[in-house]
Structure 1
């Protein structure tokens, strides 16, 4: 403690203790609530079909409720950092969560989900710092990130892993800008997603659904916009791209391949990054872990560039890496027999008696 700056400042100590307790509370409550809501979700048929089994979508509801509860309780008790627009972001994210929940229940069209998300984003973008033109570009980017996170929820552990990494990256960027409220919100969200991952790792017992994936993507994207507000458009685009590199890579791969194949971009299929890595022989946890490492790499470059510790030219390496990954994995067939991880596992075992 003696070597920590401002460690004798009571306000600083309260802020540190709040951050630790809020993150721990969010992790534990999300893990407990996701498990508790699993049975009601199954009874209400709020499920997603994965590998011939029903996975309840209780994880998203748990993440949304706990994140809002913990952050709101901190503000109500007066121990949370300054708001920095957090209340507006939470209200808008709650609206997106309800929209996503309606999509889970009634299978709303994507254009309806996109329009609702765009309206919510337009209500919280800081136009005073970005300007109207750049603010509208930010709205479009938020919608793209939200749907990118929604697309990652097809694989066990993937959306949660990428969400945790990206939320921590945005928290670091916000901390650089002394936006303690945004940084605290991102830390709580990352902790809640970690608690969710306890049940979502392969084989998943719960999933985020549109409710959780869209709201998490919304909070992360808007938080990143707040952190970059007032900076140049081109450099900000590079930092935001690096922070969400895996989300961007998955979206570009899926949209590009479907367009080239003459398929509708809204039609689902086993053509995402994780699907193609599985075709190369990786296990489900291995694919999620590898993509999580990729997200971490891009996030570190984005945070260091935002803080000014590395030049903006390093962001082009992230762009180049994403393009290489997209081109390489686009060559992997998504139909046909999957490569076996081990021929000893894939073939029947013969046991010799005597």
Structure 2
């Protein structure tokens, strides 16, 4: 208990310090978010990864908090996914490369002896989906970090209930590192999580959730896993359906995510993040209660219904306005109007 508090505090302070130190290098290397009007460096995820790995590995090396069977391999695979994400932040990689690399990492950590091969392959696909969904959540200040903290504590509670102490400590350290990062990422963000941090967080959360549900039925596990990551899943569904209806390419970015549409409804940037954080907390709470047996498994249907209702309502919020003409187009229009 005492070590968990010390580890979480250390991870929080270390992540906050590293995030501040990495802002300058991010600007100098031009590893910035090109979707924004102001330069926001994307190396915040590096701070989260370094803080999480440093604290977790130190605890295992000193034998104060051994990670346990498979958890060390999970952390190593997560670090590999983070490295792939860092390459994407600096040099840009196609989404298919990110998906393939994450799938290979997930395939190396799924406990097939408990899940079986068919369910294990489904777990690999779900892990890839969640990791990319968290990358998609990094579209608004503080959102991916907030949802990540809430989800990490939820999955940690599931792990602790199953006496997976090493996994619970790792997730608590991840939550603390994300909190330290959020000190610099809250609106207006001075640094972003980037693909490195968002893939790392999503991968660790999804893989850890698979560990906690290994040995349970596929149907009940699917419900719990969805509840734990409902906001990330709803964001992906909203974007995919919206772009299909608008006949836009699925991989073409646009202001059509959850937070974008909530902003169009009049919420502030902070308000949209807080509202989605509360939504994530509601889903995670149901997932934890269902996993521990304190609530009936059917309660996850309420989470699914709430997510579906939110998607249907937000689909009615316009997201694709008319594109502003570039300066050359403006000059052409003025010539036409002036004869």
Question: What band does the TM-score fall into relative to the shorter chain?
Answer: over 0.9
Q: Which residue of 2 aligns with 1:282?
A: 267
1:71-150 paired onto structure 2 within 5 Å = 71-150=56-135
Alpha-carbon distance in 2 for matches of 1:216, 1:336: 32
Unaligned regions of 5+ residues in structure 1, if any?
A: 1-15, 338-354
Residue 13 (structure 1) aligns with: none
SS, match of residue 34 in structure 2? strand
> Which residues of 2 match residues 282-321 of structure 1 at below 5 A?
282-321=267-306
| Correspondent of 2:312 among 312, 316, 327 | 327
**1:236 counterpart residue number:** 221
Unaligned runs of 5+ in 2: 323-339
Secondary structure at the residue paired with 1:192? helix
Mapped partners of 1:82, 1:95: distance in 2: 18
Task: Find the counterpart in structure 2 of residue 254 from structure 1.
Answer: 239
Q: Is 1:154 aligned to residue 139 of structure 2?
A: yes
Inter-partner Cα distance in structure 2 for 1:104 and 1:56: 9
CA distance in 2, matches of 1:128, 1:177: 17
Q: Distance in 1 between matches of 2:126 and 2:25?
A: 35
CA distance in 2 between counterparts of 1:74 and 1:50 reads: 39
Provide the residue aligned with 1:56 in structure 2.
Answer: 41
Distance 1:82 1:189, change over 3 A: closer
Distance 2:234 2:69 in 1: 31
Distance 2:15 2:209 in 1: 23
Question: Using the alignment, how far apart are the partners of 2:315 and 2:63 within structure 1?
Answer: 51
1:278 CA displacement: 0.2
Q: Does 1:222 align with 2:207?
A: yes
In 2, are the aligned partners of 1:84 and 1:179 still within 8 Å (CA)? no
TM-score of the aligned structures, taking structure 1 as reference length? 0.90
Please name the residue that 2:332 is paired with. Answer: none
User: Counterpart of 2:152?
Assistant: 167
Contact 1:84 1:182 in 2 (8 A): no
Q: Is the 8 A contact 1:71 1:188 kept in 2?
A: yes
User: Which residue of structure 2 aligns with residue 191 of structure 1?
Assistant: 176
Alpha-carbon distance in structure 1 between the residues aligned to 2:246 and 2:188: 31
1:245 and 2:234 equivalent?
no
RMSD across aligned positions (CA): 1.0
Kept after mapping to 2: 8 A contact 1:81/1:184: no
Q: CA deviation at 1:336?
A: 4.5
2: CA distance between counterparts of 1:50 and 1:158?
A: 16
Deviation readout 1:88-111 (Å, 9 max, x if unpaired): 011100110011011111111000
The answer on whether the counterparts of 1:84 and 1:180 sit within 8 Å (CA) in structure 2 is no
1:111-167, Cα deviation, whole Å (9 max, x unpaired): 011000000000000001000000000000000000100001110000000000000
Do the aligned partners of 2:256 and 2:320 also contact (CA within 8 Å) in 1? Answer: no
Q: Aligned partners of 2:63, 2:95: CA distance in 1, in Å?
A: 39
- Alignment deviations for residues 25-44 of structure 1 (CA, whole Å, 9 cap, x no partner): 00000000000111111111
By how many angstroms is 1:50 displaced? 4.8
Offset at residue 262 of structure 1 (A): 1.6
Which runs of structure 1 show a deviation greater than 2 angstroms over 4 or more consecutive aligned residues? none
Give the Å deviation of 1:84: 3.2
